Amino acid sequence: MCLTEKKRENQLLILYASQTGNAMDAAERFGREAERRGCPSISVLSMDEFDPSELPNKEAVILVVSTTGQGDNPDSMKGFWRFLLQKNLTEDWLKGVNYAVFGLGDSSYQKYNFVAKKLDKRFSSLGATPIIERGLGDDQHPSGYEGALDPWMSSLWSILYQRNPRLLPNAITPDDTLMDQPKVQVIYHDTEEGLSPMTTSTDFNYLEMQLEKAHSMNPAKYSGKNRPDCFLKLTKNNLLSQVESGKDVRHFEFEAVSCAIDYDVGDILEVLPGQSPEALDAFMQRCNLNPESYITVQARDNENRGFQKPSSPVKLKSFIELTMDVASASPRRYFFEVMSFFATAEHEKERLQYFASPEGRDDLYQYNQKERRTVLEVLEDFPSVQMPFEWLVQLVPPLKTRAFSISSSNSAHPNQVHLTISLVSWTTPYKRKRTGLCSSWLAGLDPNQRVLIPAWISKGCLPPPPPSLPLILVGPGTGCAPFHGFVEERAIQSKSVTTAPVVFFFGCRNEEDDFLYRDFWLSHLQKDGVLSEEKGGGFYVAFSREQPHKVYVQHKMREQSSKIWSLLSQGAAVYVAGSANKMPADVLSALEEIVSNETGVPKEAASTWIRTLERAGKYHVEAWS
């Protein structure tokens, strides 16, 4: 136990673990609200920026944590959590530390808010004092996580005030009229210093520089992603699905242009999408911005994290294009609050204040989040608002990379990377037709256009299997993408070593419309192919809509019960990939049944055994929504 004296400095620490930015938004909101209540010292930090061994010194800690799709911690929490799980931490290690946990989760998942629940329990078992019962935000709630956050936060402030009035002196009468200051300042320059006018944007060095500068300037949102791993050139854009099917699934091939590309099967490619020139122009016009001016962006105050001294100015247009999402992501509630200060028309000001208030939260949710209103649309709906560029830089959602499972084997295609992508499209509640930013941008790209795409390679949830490992693969729809790479890789490996059997379960609607890579799978079913009977392999397809009742991959798995069990008892690993959140659970359920039926053990024992498979690194799921 730490023997140093606890600093009674009336300090509030807010730690967050965010995967997609929601927990960070929530944490920053706690920070602002604490500030309005007069808290003398506030620290808002991501968990990977904080040393957990400092925890016993803290008086009050608020922890805001998201649970990701499969019940996992966000990446930024892994180190922090590992530290907390140590057996040698005593049950009074956090004695005297007051804490509160708020979780962001989705009750349609089995492991609802598991991260927050476990964190809460661990803190209290280490001797920390709960300020208030843990709060659980739920995406399924009509207003999303804010439905739970607002009332929870009110209780939090009043209890904290009772325990220590000096921590939040204005808790009873928070100052809501005081306007905050933007966190950044923007400096305009005459020219881009030191650059020859001959370079164009097709030159990847120029693009790389712009990207790096822009990223390094943008407030705290790009941890670790300044420099792309490589720049890609599109070489193929082929439609895989039938035009009449109503689906648009494509096979993309890219070539690395800046440097040699290196990846394993099962890895993830993240790309930075381009934004439509029309949308960018409309945005700059609406905001009275000069696309040709050159800017540098700096922190307004000195004590903050992640800001570097920028090397040289960047073009305003590039800065927006590369870092600010103007026509896809929705702004958060705080954006509306700040807008209200800059609205000159009375009815707009009122409406914006209403949207930013607790009473207006549900209506804001309907108008903004549910409808997936873009920044540009919001600005056009409130034409009297003129928001200074500094605020736009801070509050316009950052342009995010989109991640895709790689569908090629690097050994089979040196210096290339392939993707299998389904165009995302939906109709909003107000009946507007929308498409996904990245998928529609890619779908519309022409290999002759010579567009350069910044890309990063990262590890996902599917570690590359050694050739001697028998495999049970389940990948309906675009879930087949990583396994396309697996099969390519194993085919190459089988030329030099003996490879273990591979069994693949695929699913789609019907044979005509969306039987992705049909010829590829069938070719490997042929004699001596990776999926062939001779090699102990198998390939099974579930066509969901070819008969009145639905047939899915789990039904096909049950048909192959003894084959699956035979592979499992040989030490096979199971890999599941795909895009529906029920599918992994259905597959798991089918496996439990199979183990139970083949061995005679009760279902609970089979279930436990499969969980040990998971912990031993033999059961992997990559699920996306």
Partner 1 sequence: MGQDKLLVITDQVAVSISAVSDAIKKLRKEDVVEVDPLIITQATSDSLTSLEFSSIDDVVSLFKTLEFPSDQLLGNISRVLKPGGAVLFHFDSQTIGEQMKNPSLEHELILAGFLDIHRESFGMKCKKPSWKIGSSFALKKTSQVLPKVQMNDDDDLIDEDSLLTEEDLKKPQLPSGDCEVGITKKACKNCSCGRAGDEEKVKLGLTMDQINNPQSACGSCGLGDAFRCSTCPYKGLPKFKLGEKIALSGNFLASDI
Q: Tell me the β-bridge partners of 255.
A: 233, 416
SS3 of 279-296? HHHHHHHHCCCCCCCEEE
Element containing residue 508 per DSSP (H, E)? strand 502-508
For residue 226, the tally of other CB atoms under 10 A from its CB is 14
Between residues 357 and 599, which has the closer beta carbon with respect to partner 1?
599
Q: Contacting partner 1 (CB under 8 A), which of 334, 403, 580, 589?
A: 580
Q: Which stretch binds partner 1 (CB under 8 A): 198-206, 290-298, 399-407, 616-624?
A: 616-624
Site for partner 1 in 358-387 (CB under 8 A): 363, 366-367, 371, 373, 378, 380-382
Asked if 579 touches partner 1 (CB under 8 A), the answer is yes
Between residues 118 and 215, which has the closer beta carbon with respect to partner 1?
118
Between residues 24 and 119, which has the closer beta carbon with respect to partner 1?
119
Asked if 142 touches partner 1 (CB under 8 A), the answer is yes
Between residues 390 and 513, which has the closer beta carbon with respect to partner 1?
513
Site for partner 1 in 332-351 (CB under 8 A): 347, 351
Q: Residue ranges of the alpha helices (H) in 131-179?
A: 146-163
Asked whether residue 354 is marked as a ligand-binding residue, the answer is: no
Between residues 405 and 410, which has the closer beta carbon with respect to partner 1?
405
Q: What tokens does 113 get?
A: 């808010």
Site for partner 1 in 31-90 (CB under 8 A): 81-82, 85-88
Q: Contacting partner 1 (CB under 8 A), which of 161, 206, 334, 609?
A: 609
Beta strands in 176-289 (DSSP E): 184-189, 230-239, 249-256, 268-271
Asked whether residue 403 is marked as a ligand-binding residue, the answer is: yes
Q: How far apart are CA 17 and CA 22, in angstroms?
A: 9
Asked if 13 touches partner 1 (CB under 8 A), the answer is no
Asked whether residue 478 is marked as a ligand-binding residue, the answer is: yes
**Tokens 């490996």, located at residue:** 493
Asked whether residue 147 is marked as a ligand-binding residue, the answer is: no
Q: How far apart are CA 367 and CA 369, in angstroms?
A: 7
Residue pair 66/105 in contact by the 8 Å Cβ criterion: yes
Asked if 548 touches partner 1 (CB under 8 A), the answer is no
Asked whether residue 19 is marked as a ligand-binding residue, the answer is: yes
Between residues 189 and 347, which has the closer beta carbon with respect to partner 1?
347
Asked whether residue 109 is marked as a ligand-binding residue, the answer is: yes
Q: Which residues contact 247 (CB under 8 A, 6 or more apart)?
A: 241, 422, 423, 509, 513, 514
CA 432 to chain centre: 25
Site for partner 1 in 112-131 (CB under 8 A): 112, 114, 117-118, 121-122, 125
Site for partner 1 in 93-112 (CB under 8 A): 107-108, 110, 112
- DSSP class of residue 356 equals H
Torsion sign across C-alpha atoms 250, 523, 583, 120: negative
Q: How far apart are CA 30 and CA 34, in angstroms?
A: 6
Q: Nearest approach, Cβ of 571 to partner 1 (angstroms)? A: 7
Q: Which among 302, 282, 368, 296 has a CA at the least distance from the CA of 333?
A: 368
Asked if 403 touches partner 1 (CB under 8 A), the answer is no
Asked whether residue 402 is marked as a ligand-binding residue, the answer is: yes
Site for partner 1 in 413-452 (CB under 8 A): 426-428, 430-434
Asked whether residue 491 is marked as a ligand-binding residue, the answer is: no
Between residues 444 and 602, which has the closer beta carbon with respect to partner 1?
602
Q: How far apart are CA 105 and CA 102, in angstroms?
A: 10
DSSP letters spanning 511-574: HHHH-TTHHHHHHHHSTTSTTSTTTT-EEEEEETTSSSS---HHHHHHHTHHHHHHHHHTT-EE
Q: Tell me the β-bridge partners of 403.
A: 270
Q: Which residues are annotated as a binding site?
A: 18-23, 66-69, 104-113, 139, 372, 402-405, 436-439, 478, 544-545, 550-554, 586, 624
Q: Which residues are annotated as a binding site for NADP(+)?
A: 478, 544-545, 550-554, 586
Query: For binding to partner 1 (CB under 8 A), which residues are involved?
Result: 81-82, 85-88, 107-108, 110, 112, 114, 117-118, 121-122, 125, 140, 142, 347, 351, 355, 363, 366-367, 371, 373, 378, 380-382, 426-428, 430-434, 550, 568-569, 571, 579-582, 595, 599-602, 605, 609, 612-613, 615-618, 625
